[in-house]
């Protein structure tokens, strides 16, 4: 793989990673409600999930979808159900006052729990499955060796993790959190509504 081809694939994925979607939305809300540290753990989970989809794509994910189109449909419906579930909880709890303090005996959201949440968000999201299976795989020169493919997987992990950590960090700043406290109901319903629209679009697309 030439340097030009590598940079093209890197930029292609970076643009996909920064585009608004469930992953970026979850990173933003996690930063707002649980802080940057939890957001970083979530971002690492998102990065691992992206690497999983990319590895499947390099193994022939597009061919699988062509041979079994029903599988992609099931994947989309499962992802839509997950997004709608998240949207319902955000909308339902929108009027609950924001409290940064934890009640006695409550545990701080752990690294592992946030990592797992990010991973599940990415794995249940058909957006990366379609991107990696249809776009990413087609952009990689066929002659790319194992070393080049592993390097691309590493770059994908860095793109996803760093960008979503950045988003989480920005939304965890005191100024952003103060604004969130004053607009919690509106913002939570915006987040929930946006996820619901994405879920319906996935289910009907």
Tens of pLDDT, residues 23-75: 888 888 888 888 889 999 999 999 999 999 888 877 775 566 667 777 667 76
Q: Is residue 75 part of a domain?
A: yes
The two tokens of residue 27 are 């990173």
Number of domain units in the chain: 1
pTM above threshold 0.85: no
Domain hosting 49: range is: 3-14+22-98+108-204
Q: Is residue 184 part of a domain?
A: yes
DSSP alpha helices (H): ranges in 61-183?
61-67, 69-92, 111-123, 126-130, 137-139, 146-172, 174-182
As a whole number of angstroms, the distance between CA 127 and CA 66 comes to 17
Classify burial at 182, counting beta carbons within 10 Å of its beta carbon; exposed 0-12, middle 13-18, buried 19 or more. exposed
Which regions in the chain score pLDDT beneath 70? Answer: 1, 19-20, 61-66, 71-72, 75-76, 79, 82-83, 97-109, 133-139, 142, 180-182, 198, 202, 205
The distance from CA 112 to its chain's CA centroid, rounded to whole angstroms, is 16
Q: Is residue 36 part of a domain?
A: yes
């Amino acid at each position: 793989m030439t340097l030009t081809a590598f940079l093209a694939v890197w930029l292609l994925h970076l643009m996909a990673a920064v585009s608004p979607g469930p992953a970026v939305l979850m990173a933003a809300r996690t930063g707002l409600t649980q802080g940057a540290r939890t957001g970083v753990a979530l971002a690492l989970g998102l990065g691992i999930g992206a690497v999983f989809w990319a590895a499947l794509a390099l193994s022939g994910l597009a061919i699988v979808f062509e041979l079994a189109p029903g599988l992609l449909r099931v994947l989309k419906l499962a992802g839509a159900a997950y997004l709608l579930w998240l949207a319902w909880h955000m909308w339902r709890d929108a009027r609950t006052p924001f409290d940064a303090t934890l009640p006695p005996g409550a545990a701080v959201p752990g690294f592992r729990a946030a990592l797992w949440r990010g991973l599940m968000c990415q794995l249940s999201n058909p957006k990366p499955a379609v991107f990696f299976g249809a776009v990413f795989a087609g952009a990689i020169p066929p002659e790319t060796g194992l070393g080049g493919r592993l390097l691309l997987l590493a770059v994908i992990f860095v793109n996803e993790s760093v960008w979503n950590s950045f988003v989480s960090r920005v939304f965890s700043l005191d100024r952003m959190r103060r604004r969130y406290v004053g607009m919690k109901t509106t913002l939570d319903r915006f987040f929930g509504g946006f996820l619901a629209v994405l879920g319906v679009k996935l289910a009907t697309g």
